[in-house]
Structure 1
Amino acid sequence: MSEPLTVTRIAHSCHLIQIGEKTILTDPWFSEKMFYHPGEPVALRPETLPHLDAVVISHEHYDHCDLRAFRRYRDHDVPMVVAGPVVAKARKAGFTDVTPLEPWQTAKIGDITVHAAPGLHGVYEVTYVIQAGGRSVYFAGDTLLTPELLTLGKRHGTFDLALLPVNGLTIRMAGNKQVVMNADDAAELAAALRPRLVVPQHYAFTGGAVGDRLILRSDKDPGLFVKAVERLAPAVAVRVIDTGSPLVVAP
């Protein structure tokens, strides 16, 4: 029998995933600075987080790896599974239990299994399949769509939940280079994975008035993803969740 699964959006790609009594935090981001604004309320602060059994970090960008703020979390021995370039940053921030994973490698943290999958972004990135208590969650950080990701269902079976980036972020100063999945890309991945539920992430982010006008371009409406799923993956349930609102995922 599978255990209860709940996801709580903190902001951006930062979530609490609770499977039974186990709690996993994804891509911590709790603060802001010039050109990096969540664009939505941040639901929790590091010092108010519940006990964490694991943390996964997809890559080293500040809005996914806010270790300066996360140092305020009370337990610096919390197990962390990270992309290779994050290791030194995590240890410098005082975290002691840090495991790097390459794509297709696996780590066990008690009853939690974390499989790394490929990612493609402006810097080195991995994405994660998180399994525990008979449940399976795919967390996609802010990757682009790659052919390897379309095979995850065959590799790992049925997903209860997929958390997919959808804002199609492009860098104006790099010739409008796209570095994150857009709504249609994410819906195509949802169609391939066929999770019981898909939830969009990484859409409210803003570089501020100057950053959005001169540096970045992105789609900030998750409704675009909802419409894309209805068109490209009509058998997949989709939900947009507000920050701080726990969502129970049915078995």
Structure 2
Amino acid sequence: MTTHSRALLIALLPFAALTGTSCAVHQGPRSDHFDGTRFTTGEPTATLADHARWLWEMEPVAWPDWIVDPPQPPPIARTAPGELRFTYINHATILIQIDGINILTDPIWSRRAGPWGLLGASRVRAPGLAFDQLPPIDVVLISHDHYDHLDRPTLRRLVARHRPVIITGLGVGARLADTAPGAVVELDWWQQHALANGGPEIVFLPTRHDSGRGWFDGNCTLWGGFALKSSRGWVLFMGDTGWSRHFPAIATRFAPVRLAILPIGSYEKRWFMQDRHLNPDDAVRAHLLFRAAQSVGIHFGTFCEHPEQAVDAHETDLAQALDRRGVARDRFWVPGFGEGRSIP
């Protein structure tokens, strides 16, 4: 980190507290992952001092100022029964079209991932699908409340136009009280929700990550992934996660899966990021553990958040991991922005 960047970090530390909220956003019984105030992974995790050390030692790799992606065909309006389609929009924003139901994950179309649209990481490319190109959206899945996954301006637009059901973790509904009143379903880990319109069963999954929108409201809400039960097999959307002790239990319950959607970016420095982000090799391990017929990599090349790997490093690292572990490269797809495919 440059001297100027260190000075800026120190100057912003007092202000960063203002971007958080009280931890009194969820009230419920204690559990093995909730102490009555905050949630926990039950696994080692970074401290505030670790965060400060990481920021101090950060060695950014230069990213392009802007990337122009080739245009892609717009998605179909709806799939037929038994059909599954995946369209990569950006970051962790995925259009999943399954058995005639349209599901959007962690939607963000904002220019920046941060408070008030003024702070936070800036995008280096446009979303692969324009907002107006979206088909009717029935369900929105929110994996956790970080700014790059819970974007209020985008959610306001979605609620105004599509009136979707929003499914997320415990406490996150409080973040959306003025954005999506009455439209939020909160789930604890392993809880399931059946859609009223006959769509897929949805299960909230434990993952290894964290939550919070400021420096001092960490882990006040619950994070996780999702399992979607299609008529022809399970689909996993893992949100943000490091390698977790919960993965074997997920595999026991859901494997073999039809499609695993796995994060493969933002994984350096490894001593810090291993608690919250898979690297490509971890993602291939998860692909094998979940016995996925097909896997897709996400969460890369969108926001210049903490770039300690090149903007396209995930592609090289994933190819090497697949070769090293004896997995055919076509079994783990790295999509283009806006690219959609039908999943057999």
Q: Do they superpose with TM above 0.5?
A: yes
**Contact (CA 8 Å) 2:235, 2:260: kept in 1 or not?**
yes
Q: Which moved more, 1:228-237 or 1:195-204?
A: 228-237
Aligned equivalents of 2:321, 2:269: Cα separation in 1: 23
Aligned equivalents of 1:152, 1:235: Cα separation in 2: 23
Structure 1 partner of 2:226: 128
Q: How far is 1:219 from its partner?
A: 5.6
Q: Deviations over 1:51-105 (max 9, x none)?
A: 1121111000111111212211244631111022321122321342211111111
Return the letter of the residue paired with 1:113. Answer: E
1:84 equivalent to 2:181? Answer: no
Q: Which moved more, 1:189-198 or 1:79-88?
A: 79-88
Structure 2 partner of 1:200: 297
Structure 2 SS opposite 1:64: coil
Count of residue correspondences: 242
Structure 2 partner of 1:226: 319
Structure 2 partner of 1:12: 91
**Contact (CA 8 Å) 2:225, 2:238: kept in 1 or not?**
yes
TM-score (norm 1): 0.86
Query: What does 1:171-210 align with in structure 2 at a 5 Å threshold?
Result: 176-178=272-274, 179-207=276-304
Structure 2 partner of 1:93: 179
Where does structure 1 lack aligned partners over 5 or more consecutive residues? none
Structure 2 SS opposite 1:92: coil
Return the letter of the residue paired with 1:229. Answer: L
Return the letter of the residue paired with 2:337. Answer: T
Q: How far is 1:228 from its partner?
A: 1.1
- Structure index of larger Rg: 2
Q: Which moved more, 1:132-141 or 1:163-172?
A: 163-172
Q: In structure 2, do the counterparts of structure 1 residues 177 and 112 end up closer, same or farther at CA, with 3 Å as the change threshold?
A: closer
Return the letter of the residue paired with 2:314. Answer: P
Q: Deviations over 1:129-166 (max 9, x none)?
A: 01123232100111111021133222023211111111
Q: How far is 1:122 from its partner?
A: 3.3
Q: How far is 1:218 from its partner?
A: 4.3
1:169 equivalent to 2:267? Answer: yes
Structure 1 partner of 2:32: none
Query: What does 1:126-165 align with in structure 2 at a 5 Å threshold?
Result: 126-165=224-263
TM-score (norm 2): 0.64
Q: How far is 1:47 from its partner?
A: 4.2
**Contact (CA 8 Å) 1:10, 1:16: kept in 2 or not?**
yes
Choose which of 231, 237, 243 in structure 1 pairs with 2:337. 243
User: When you count strand as a share of all residues, which structure comes out higher?
Assistant: 1
Structure 2 partner of 1:112: 200
Q: Deviations over 1:10-39 (max 9, x none)?
A: 101100001131111111111122442343
Structure 1 SS opposite 2:103: strand
Where does structure 2 lack aligned partners over 5 or more consecutive residues? 1-79, 113-118, 212-221
